[in-house]
Amino acid sequence: MIEILSWATLVVAAIVFGAYVVRGMSGFGTSLVAMPLLVLIMPIHTAVPMMTVLGLCVGVMLGVRDRSHVRWDEFRRMLPPTFLGVFAGIGLFAWLDARFMQQLLGGFIVAYSLHTLASQWLRPRAVKCSTRWAYPAGFASSLVDSMFGGGGGPLVVMYMLGRGYEPVVFRATLAVLWLLELVVRVAGYALGGYYNRTVLLLGLLLIPVMLAGNRLGEALSRSMSPQTFARLIALILLASGISLLLK
């Protein structure tokens, strides 16, 4: 556990700020950027609940703002497997050793970054998804989110893109889905005893940092191409994931 008034808190604030700049530019990926760096400073069983609280704050704002664009049929289809994935992920989060969790996270980050780089340069043909893919996508996404504090979002993003929806529709649908997922995750971590005064106070202090980073990211998104941004983030993630595996 870190002290609230310490240099480590400033480093955590800088990491959260950078992660939410990424989120403001891309719409997701906060924990993919933040977690590999946060676990170098604090235990993973502290970092994950803290980032989940911050994610819940963003989820409330986006869910309220975009609810009129939600595809409720897709939402109802993905909700049950999403909840099952949360319960399974929290169970594994509580059961697995912190060191092993860190290695799993590093491996996942490396695999995701390599997938992103490959998709940017190879540009595979778009595939139309059947609604049956909603169930494994929803389960796997929330499982990864609950174990690592995030990172599962691209799985349901790929499903929604494969269904052929406009960006505003799939972003709104996933915002409401993720909001309910985050509520359940926060409740699960709380029941597991992962929230204490220090974690909650740190999360509260980081809310303005989160909002500032998200706003800057939205502004920067208008001056950088999505392809350049995706490649830059993938390279950063690759380096972060390798550092976790070697730590």
- Tens of pLDDT, residue by residue over 106-118, are 787 788 778 778 8
The pLDDT tens digits of the residues spanning 198-231 come to 888 888 899 999 989 988 987 887 776 767 766 7
Q: What does the pLDDT read at residue 87?
A: 92
Better-predicted residue by pLDDT, 98 or 186: 186
CA-to-CA distance for 6 and 242, rounded, in angstroms?
27
Asked, for residue 2, whether it belongs to a domain, the answer is no
Residue 131 included in any domain: yes
Residue 156, domain member (yes or no): yes
Residues 53-70: pLDDT tens digits?
Answer: 898 888 888 788 878 889
What is the DSSP code (8-state) at residue 128? P
User: If you average pLDDT over each of 17-26, 220-229, 231-240, which comes out highest?
Assistant: 17-26
Q: Which two tokens stand for residue 29?
A: 């990926």
Q: Average pLDDT of 221-245?
A: 72
Q: How confident is the model at residue 135 (pLDDT cuts 50, 70, 90)?
A: very high
Domain hosting residue 53, numbered range: 7-246
Which residues in 91-122 are b (16+ Cβ under 10 Å) and which e? Answer: eebeebeeeebbebbbebbbebbeebbeeeee
Residue 1's alpha-carbon distances to 41, 73, 106, 199, 229, in angstroms, are: 9, 43, 21, 9, 33
pTM value is 0.74
Place of tokens 């992920």: 89
Give domain status of residue 32, yes or no: yes
How distant is the alpha carbon of residue 161 from its chain centre? 18
How many domains does the chain divide into?
1
**Is 1 part of a structural domain of the chain?**
no
d(CA 182, CA 89): 12
Q: What is the 3-state secondary structure (H, E, C) of 174-241?
A: HHHHHHHHHHHHHHHHHHCCCCCHHHHHHHHHHHHHHHHHHHHHHHHCCCCCHHHHHHHHHHHHHHHH
Query: What is the reported pLDDT for 12?
Result: 93
User: What is the Cα–Cα distance from 156 to 140, expressed in whole angstroms?
Assistant: 9
